[in-house]
Amino acid sequence: MLIYLFKRLLYALPIALGVTVVSFLLVYLAPGDPLNAIAPADAPAEVITALKTSYGLDRPMPVRYALWLARAVQGDLGASIATGRPVIAEVLGAVSNTLVLAAMAALAGVCVGCVLGGLAGYHAGGWIDRVASAISVVGVSVPHYWLGLVLTIVFSIRLGWLPAMGAGPGGSAAWAWDGAHLRHLVLPAATLCVIPMGIITRTVRALVADMLNQEFVVALRARGLGGRAVFRHVTRNVAPTVLAVAGLQVGYLMGGSILVETVFAWPGTGFLLNTAIFQRDIPLLQGTILVLCLFFVVINLTVDVVQPLIDPRMGRA
């Protein structure tokens, strides 16, 4: 088990290093000058030169990367060009809001997906299977932004049941676990959960249907075990794969919520990324992308660690 954990950690380190390279270089592929966010178009050449020196934009790319990485390891992601605030403060505030949104969406998607997929697998070929499969196909096919707009029109504009924007009353960006803030969470979480729900439904359905045809299940039934005992054995064999898929979906929700957060003005990392892109705020872009990618790496590493606890055979791989 310890060797397995050590190997997974070794695999994660080069991935994390590659993430830093991509996070640093990717933002420079976009057109535009980042200094436009703080300097007017008619700024004198001396001012532009001074700003480039101040932000390190006059140095070669490898030198900039080395200095940026050295500061990032110490928790210093620089300062936002647009606001002048530390990037780490901006990102951590947004990450906490996105974590709340992603956790609620993932919880809803995983729970509904497991129930629908389990029912479809146990009734493969029947009408329950067809209904669950149709729901999963719709879930993975509907665009996030379109569904968000539809839910806003129906439940916010027409019915007036739920707020359409912000994370709290009055456009508050600070999250609190109370009824007023939870009402702001419902629409974006419902919008985000449909894709993981559809993917997990299809995954669980295929796994359960295949598991029920395995020889050990037939043997368990031949020994006279009831449906509940068979269900426990099937669940234990299906759980590692479902956990891996669910972990990936949580990572995707953290990084793939930019359109949903923009539609609902949810003050998370997606909304922050959208703002940084339009402002060409390179330090903020780099810091946000880096944190999201590292979070994805950590999620996958956590899933790799938890899987052997469910199925000890994986720890001997």
Check residue 60 and give its pLDDT: 75
Among 21-30, 51-60, 207-216, 251-260, top mean pLDDT goes to 207-216
pTM, two decimals, is: 0.73
Mean pLDDT for 27-47 is: 64
**Residue 152 pLDDT exceeds 60:** yes
Start-to-end Cα distance in the chain: 9
Among 50-64, 98-112, 303-317, top mean pLDDT goes to 98-112
- Ramachandran region of residue 213, left (φ > 0), alpha (ψ -120 to 50) or beta? alpha
One CATH from 1.10.3720.10, 1.10.10.60, 3.40.50.300, 1.10.10.10 for 87-316 = 1.10.3720.10
Q: Where are the domains of the chain?
A: 87-316
